Amino acid sequence: MLAYILNISGWLLLPFMDGIAKYLSSEMHFIQIIWGRYFFMILVSFPLALIFFRKEIKFPKNISVQLFRGFFLFLSTVFFFYAISIISLAQALTLAFVSPIIVTILSIFYLKEKVGIHRWSAVIIGFIGVLIIIRPGFLEINFASISAIGAGTAYAFYIIYTRKLSFIDSPVVTLLFTGLVGCILISLILPYYWTNIDLRQLLLLILLASIGALAHFLIILSLRLGEASKLAPLGYFEISTNILVGYIFFGDLPDIWIYLGLSLIVFSGIYIFIRENKKT
């Protein structure tokens, strides 16, 4: 039961990080926000790791896989933070929820898994859900919507590489190394987008990164206590706080099409996880 509580708590916290990012996007470039997310995440995560997981902090055993994993999470963050600077939190997150569907497709090529008719049906249903949300031909498909889907696609690659690392490196090492990779990558392009920030903006960036670090820390703790396949569908709880944050702070309320598309995507994702769990 504790694993479920920790996991849900982590997912429910993440939209508050996204909400701060969306708020700051009206005052500074989203690249600068991503830098704050990674830089201050490292400053917060390292002390937590030293206190709770000191013995597990070692150099990664598979550096190349760690680099690819960190790169795809960084790419997903860039796409998603750009998307929420343009469109609503609910729409961006819902479109990014295509990741479990894409993981199923990628698992055929990268993990050599066999995908039967049941999972293919779930993939098709999820894709229909995406089409309902963006409604090509009825709404203008902008780069922000494509970027949100790109965030889910990049996150799917991140999940694939996470699976490859699950039996190699400690989750804590993976979390710290992921933050380090992201911080280095974003620092390379940050000078082109940097603007001076005031104390309020600095504190908000620190708060944003702290929420993200705490959320991921709770998720890591939950995975130490429960099976990943059973906890994975709980990630969909993120949409509840996402809608709440979007409505209270930005006045964004999803329309019936987003709810319908979300229902199909969530159904397909949960069905995929149930099928995978039955096989294990």
- Residues 178, 161: Cα–Cα separation, whole Å: 12
Instruction: Write out the two tokens for 193.
Output: 């987008």
Angle value at C-alpha 62, between 166 and 227, nearest 5 degrees? 5
What 3-state DSSP class applies to 139? Answer: strand
How many other CB atoms are found less than 10 A from the CB of residue 191? 7
Length of the chain: 280
Q: Which domain holds residue 94?
A: 2-279
Q: What is the pLDDT of residue 137?
A: 52
**Number of other CB atoms surrounding residue 196 within 10 Å:** 6
Each residue's pLDDT expressed in tens, for the chain with a length of 280 residues: 787 788 888 888 988 999 999 999 989 999 999 999 999 989 888 887 888 778 878 887 778 888 888 899 899 999 999 999 888 887 888 788 777 778 777 777 766 666 667 767 777 777 787 777 666 554 456 788 899 999 989 988 887 887 776 667 777 787 788 889 999 999 999 999 998 999 999 999 999 999 988 887 787 777 667 655 566 666 777 777 888 888 888 887 777 877 787 788 777 767 766 766 665 5
Tokens of 155: 């996150």
Model pLDDT, residue 257: 79
Which string of b and e fits 45-71 if b means at least 16 CB within 10 Å? beebbeeebeeeeeebeeeebbebbbb
At residue 236, the pLDDT reads 72
Place of tokens 């569908």: 233
Structural domains counted in the chain: 1
* pLDDT value of residue 35: 94
Q: What is the Cα–Cα distance from 175 to 170, expressed in whole angstroms?
A: 9
pTM, two decimals, is 0.81
